[in-house]
Amino acid sequence: MPRAGSRAASPPAPRTKPADERRRDLLDAGLAVFLDRGVPAATLDQITRRAGVAKGTFYLHFESKEHLLAALQRDWEAKLVARIETAVANAGGDWSNRLDAWMVAAMTDYPTERALHDVLFHHPLLADHGAAAAERAPGGGAPDLADSLTALIRGGIADGVFDTADAELTAMLLCSALHRMFDRIWHRDDTLAPDRMTAATRQLFRRALGLPDA
């Protein structure tokens, strides 16, 4: 027993963080280094130094810098999808309103932080390393943008509101069109009025699913 007036011994501090916290540290450090230096110039030494871990710890979580980048892409998209699905849930039960809510939320969130998006998605090494495929393995993460829209379309089809022969492919095409629009606008000297973009996108989404124009 401790002597009277003495303090009880404090439990020893944990020597290592939990694995999920270490992974989050590496994601945050990788993002900071990629934004600061660009993906091609970033090194594992810079990333691990910023995260405060050894290289061996890095390889416990990611196979390569490309796999870290792919994980950051998934992390960014999962947060975007969560915000979009919140907007859809708040739109009520009307499927046309839910579709509009999905589209407007994507239009609002997708073009934000252009520099971040360019760093995460305009890097060609992923195609050579299979990193994106690893991050998309079954059970390996949250739904992406096309998954979210596919689920919405299937729900509208089941209730007899939407009309398309292939919900998944339609969702992929609509998401690709949305991405291409922003990508093109970001790299133009002139900009398009937000109302014009929203009106054209709403018309495209509605017509693709057999709904009358708003």
| Claim to verify: residue 95 and residue 49 sit in the same structural domain | no
Amino acid 12: pLDDT: 43
> Across the chain, which distance is largest between two alpha carbons, in Å?
82
Asked if residue 10 belongs to a domain, the reply is: no
Asked if residue 2 belongs to a domain, the reply is: no
Nearest CA-CA partner of 116 in 80, 152, 155: 80
| Claim to verify: residue 116 and residue 39 sit in the same structural domain | no
**What pTM, to 2 d.p., does this model score?**
0.75
Task: Determine contact, residues 100/91, Cβ cutoff 8 Å.
Answer: yes
| Claim to verify: residue 188 and residue 93 sit in the same structural domain | yes
Average pLDDT over residues 84-94: 96
Amino acid 13: pLDDT: 39
| Total tally of structural domains belonging to the chain | 2
Cα-atom radius of gyration of the chain, to the nearest Å?
22
Instruction: Report the C-alpha gap between 38 and 43 in whole angstroms.
Output: 10
| Claim to verify: residue 24 and residue 70 sit in the same structural domain | no
Q: For the residues of 134-189, what is the DSSP string, one character each?
A: HHTSTTSS---HHHHHHHHHHHHHHTT----S-HHHHHHHHHHHHHHHHHHHHTSS
Asked if residue 74 belongs to a domain, the reply is: yes
CATH number for the domain harbouring residue 24: 1.10.10.60
pLDDT in tens, 12-42: 434 577 888 999 999 999 999 999 998 889 9
| Claim to verify: residue 99 and residue 139 sit in the same structural domain | yes
| Claim to verify: residue 78 and residue 154 sit in the same structural domain | yes
Task: Determine contact, residues 132/126, Cβ cutoff 8 Å.
Answer: yes
Task: Determine contact, residues 48/105, Cβ cutoff 8 Å.
Answer: no
DSSP one-letter code for 126:
H
Q: Which domain holds residue 148?
A: 65-208
